[in-house]
Amino acid sequence: MMKKKSFAKFLTTATVSLGLAGMAASAWAGSLEDVMKARGLTQKDLLAAAKTYTPTGGRDEFVVFSSGGQSGQVIVYGIPSMRILKYIGVFTPEPWQGYGFDDESKAVLAQGKIKGKTINFGDTHHPAISETNGSTDGQYLFINDKANPRLAVIDLKDFETKQIVVNPIMKSEHGGAFASPNTDYIMEASQYPAPFENGYVPLSKFNEKYRGLVSYWKFNRKEGRIDPTKSFSVELPPYSQDLSDFGKGPSDGWSFTNSFCTERYVGGIEKGRPPFEAGCSQKDTDFVHMINWKKAAELFAAGKTKKVNGMDVIMMDTAIKEGILFLIPEPKSPHGVDVTPDGKYFIVAGKLDTHASVYDFAKIKALIDAKDFAGKDPYGIPILDLKKSLHTQVQVGLGPLHNQYDSKKCIVYTSIYVDSQITKWDYCEGKVLDKINIHYNVGHLMSMEGDTANPKGKYLVSLNKLAIDRFNPVGPLHPQNHQLIDISGDKMQLLYDMPIPLGEPHYAVAIQASKLKPKVRYKLGWDSRTDKKSPYRTRPGREKIVKKDGVTHVYGTLIRSHITPEIIEVEEGETVSLHFTNVERAEDETHGFAINNFDVNLSVEPGKTVSFTFKADKPGVYPYYCTEFCSALHLEMQGYLLVRPKGVKASDAAVSEGQTYTKADYDKQLKNNIATQGVIDSVVGYITSRNFKSFKPVVALVEDATDQLNFAADAKKKSEAFAAKKDYNNATLWAQQWFQYQVKAADIGLRAKTYLDEHGAVVVK
């Protein structure tokens, strides 16, 4: 270990092992032909590989946010490499990120309780990125939970979940999350009709008492939070509302929501009645619901709502009277409704029909303005004529589901569930252009920013529900399969299969990576969940233990490689609140914190302050440690929580150690430290002779290194003071600590030096 070696020696060893790594690579040497032969690859495979392979250190052009399905999380991956970058904890605890373990994130998860009950899963379906003028802006991400109607807000500055809102009326929800073109509202539509009230209502009252609902949640962009007090809903008939979309351009101000089972069938297979699937697919058409949401917002502002479970609802009769709600027939059990980039059309794919229908918004608007209706539904909602509303219908394949747009004008891609295909077609001319087979059973599909006003083309991902035999078998539960398709040419080309082993990813959204500007560290002492300074932030040297209102507060810090305090002693029964601030500034220097027996892992990224409150209910000795391999002495980043039985006196600080040190030990350590200082000085000289101030990450590293050197100077003083008193035991220990700070400073310095070398820093005078 480096501990006893001189630092210079460590550097030489590192150089030698690098050379060895270079030699090992030759095991795979050989010509391209050899490798192709050995692995059975074709020219086509090589071309696909060349389009996705990303050399080490390379970045992706697009970043995808995929639903994590039943995991209640969001999966982040890159395109074209298909490398997974992160799982974001959203509706469920995520231990690595400490999500659901520290007090701050527990408070976020607690917002997702339903009628006081903790929900331990989420059925996440549709992520949506915030938009400005109909284009994704990379600021926020929203995602819904179908099973437990909830909506979450994730801030893309740090990829953390900030808020969960529970829909107080819905009992299930599918048609969310969708953001309006300027993210004023996030929309969600209920799925299975249910009574508004929370009590028992028999199915015999289905037609009168069961209802659908669309909610418009007001998003306060400045606060980065949904404001429930400014949000409202619109009551809908008990049809099973499905996916939705916001209009844009000429259709801005309107939203569209599909439905199925407009038969209002209620099932009952156990009573010998035909099941839901028969009763819900009887009619040839269902309904698209069109809502003028801008006018609805005015009605809400004017107080034309009724409070239902605390939420303002525009009731159906008001919506009809005020002319904000219309229905248009749509062929059989549709699924996706997708507004074209220019907002002139929207395309509906009918699961049980082979057609995709292109609706013309201008025609629809003219029909509404002329009050030219074909009839009314049983609730009195005006129905527009299907033929008069259509631009065209195109036969795209068996079981069309969802649509995504290309950067090329009039080009749309539709996922075809039964045929397991993607169909590329022209919605202006109404003709099919290309089809590609995928494996197996595609659900959603996703092109780059393909649901926005400015699709970026290039790639398409087929989100397949089944993988069957595509991957190495891992038992009866298979991963799902995301397939990357090149759409840059006339013909679609399949490039890559990526298994997704985290739950069924329903939908995903992609964004140009350049639009994302996440931070690498927090302001020192930051509560990332409220986005405010933490009241428990602590600076190095200010660590303390304070008793207040019956709680023992431990204000601690984390830095390579120690936790302060290292010994916490409390009495049985005390409520203890630990607060840790990671005082590092270096990128990626995260520390973890786990303690035996208390079910906690904290993730403390640079600058963050997190807390963990618990009852020390059982006497004992509980080691704690850092759970991130943060430095050479990471294993030594440890401490003890001692819980002494009630009534037992606090033990003296007297600690008995296994080792004592002599003057010879001290002298040896001193010599080592002086040699190490020589190495540090040369690294510092190298950095300061370059234009390092032009490189932000290096400035941060230098700040960190300076901190460490100040700590080193402190430890040096203590060591020398003990040596002067001839206490060589303490003098040696402090000299060792002085060395530890030196090592950390040198480690950071070397990182800075490497960065400068790789980024073309120049010598300055």
Closest to 624 (Cα-Cα) out of 652, 601, 603, 654: 601
Which of ligand CUA, ligand RUQ, none does residue 444 bind to, with CB < 5 to 8 Å depending on kind? ligand RUQ
Q: Which of 178, 507, 734, 738 binds ligand RUQ (CB under 6 A)?
A: 507
Q: How far is the CB of 635 from ligand CUA (least distance, A)?
A: 8
Residue that is written with structure tokens 């009252």 in the block: 205
Q: Which of residues 556-585 bind ligand CUA (CB under 6 A)?
A: 561
Q: How far is the CB of 634 from ligand CUA (least distance, A)?
A: 3
Binding segment (CB under 6 A) for ligand CUA, from list 29-37, 342-350, 425-433, 628-636: 628-636
Binding segment (CB under 6 A) for ligand CUA, from list 249-257, 284-292, 626-634, 752-760: 626-634
- Cα(257)–Cα(243) distance, rounded to whole angstroms? 6
To 10 degrees, the CA torsion angle through 126, 340, 293, 332? -70
Q: How far is the CB of 586 from ligand CUA (least distance, A)?
A: 12
480 to 120, 198, 418, 729: CA distances (angstroms): 22, 36, 17, 60
**Residue 703, both tokens:** 């700040």
Task: Assess contact for 101 and 93: CB atoms under 8 A.
Answer: yes
Which of ligand CUA, ligand RUQ, none does residue 626 bind to, with CB < 5 to 8 Å depending on kind? ligand CUA
Q: Which of 125, 248, 289, 521 binds ligand RUQ (CB under 6 A)?
A: 125
Q: Which of 436, 630, 715, 743 binds ligand CUA (CB under 6 A)?
A: 630
Determine the 3-state secondary structure of 401 from DSSP.
strand
Q: Which of 150, 248, 332, 335 binds ligand RUQ (CB under 6 A)?
A: 335
Task: Assess contact for 290 and 218: CB atoms under 8 A.
Answer: no
**Residue 646, both tokens:** 């009630």
Choose between 81 and 561: whose C-beta lies nearer to ligand CUA: 561
Around Cβ 336, how many Cβ atoms within 10 Å?
Answer: 28
**Residue 245, both tokens:** 């979309």
Q: How far is the CB of 239 from ligand CUA (least distance, A)?
A: 55
Q: How far is the CB of 434 from ligand CUA (least distance, A)?
A: 52
Task: Assess contact for 229 and 220: CB atoms under 8 A.
Answer: no
Q: How far is the CB of 539 from ligand CUA (least distance, A)?
A: 18
Render 267-314 in DSSP notation, one character per residue. Answer: --GGGTPPPHHHHTT-SSEEEEEEEEHHHHHHHHHTT--EEETTEEEE
Which of ligand CUA, ligand RUQ, none does residue 332 bind to, with CB < 5 to 8 Å depending on kind? none
Render 432-448 in DSSP notation, one character per residue. Answer: EEEEEE-SS-EEEEEEE
**Residue 326, both tokens:** 């219309």
At residue 438, what is the residue type? I
Which of ligand RUQ, ligand CUA, none does residue 507 bind to, with CB < 5 to 8 Å depending on kind? ligand RUQ
Which of ligand CUA, ligand RUQ, none does residue 125 bind to, with CB < 5 to 8 Å depending on kind? ligand RUQ
- Cα(257)–Cα(246) distance, rounded to whole angstroms? 9
Q: How far is the CB of 289 from ligand RUQ (least distance, A)?
A: 17
Choose between 460 and 524: whose C-beta lies nearer to ligand CUA: 524
Identify the burial level of 526 via C-beta atoms within 10 angstroms of its C-beta, where 0-12 means exposed, 13-18 middle and 19 or more buried.
buried
Does 628 bind ligand CUA (CB under 6 A)? Our answer is yes
Residue 714's Cβ-side half-sphere holds a number of Cα atoms within 13 Å equal to 11
Which of ligand RUQ, ligand CUA, none does residue 630 bind to, with CB < 5 to 8 Å depending on kind? ligand CUA
Task: Assess contact for 122 and 150: CB atoms under 8 A.
Answer: yes
243 to 65, 184, 188, 520: CA distances (angstroms): 18, 19, 9, 36
- Dmax over CA atoms of the chain, in Å, equals 101
Q: Which of 519, 634, 668, 718 binds ligand CUA (CB under 6 A)?
A: 634
Does 443 bind ligand RUQ (CB under 6 A)? Our answer is yes
Determine the 3-state secondary structure of 378 from DSSP.
coil
Binding segment (CB under 6 A) for ligand CUA, from list 340-348, 504-512, 629-637, 685-693: 629-637
Q: How far is the CB of 223 from ligand RUQ (least distance, A)?
A: 29
Q: How far is the CB of 444 from ligand RUQ (least distance, A)?
A: 5
Does 150 bind ligand RUQ (CB under 6 A)? Our answer is no
**Residue 85, both tokens:** 């970058």
Does 506 bind ligand RUQ (CB under 6 A)? Our answer is yes
Q: Which of 226, 570, 637, 643 binds ligand CUA (CB under 6 A)?
A: 637
Does 626 bind ligand CUA (CB under 6 A)? Our answer is yes
Give the interface size with ligand CUA as a residue count (CB under 6 A).
8
Choose between 170 and 701: whose C-beta lies nearer to ligand CUA: 701
H-run or E-run covering 316: helix 316-321
Which of ligand CUA, ligand RUQ, none does residue 591 bind to, with CB < 5 to 8 Å depending on kind? ligand CUA
Does 401 bind ligand RUQ (CB under 6 A)? Our answer is yes
Closest to 590 (Cα-Cα) out of 221, 104, 145, 97: 97
At residue 78, what is the residue type? G
Choose between 121 and 625: whose C-beta lies nearer to ligand CUA: 625
Report residue 428 CA to chain centroid gap.
36
Q: Which of residues 216-255 bind ligand RUQ (CB under 6 A)?
A: 243
Q: Which of residues 163-192 bind ligand RUQ (CB under 6 A)?
A: 174
Does 587 bind ligand CUA (CB under 6 A)? Our answer is no
Rg (CA), the chain: 31
**Residue 669, both tokens:** 């350590």
Which residue lies nearest ligand RUQ, judged by its C-beta?
443
Does 591 bind ligand CUA (CB under 6 A)? Our answer is yes
- Cα(381)–Cα(740) distance, rounded to whole angstroms? 75
Residues within the interface to ligand RUQ (CB under 6 A) = 125-126, 174, 243, 335, 401-402, 443-444, 506-507
What is the binding site for ligand CUA (CB under 6 A)?
561, 591, 626, 628-630, 634, 637
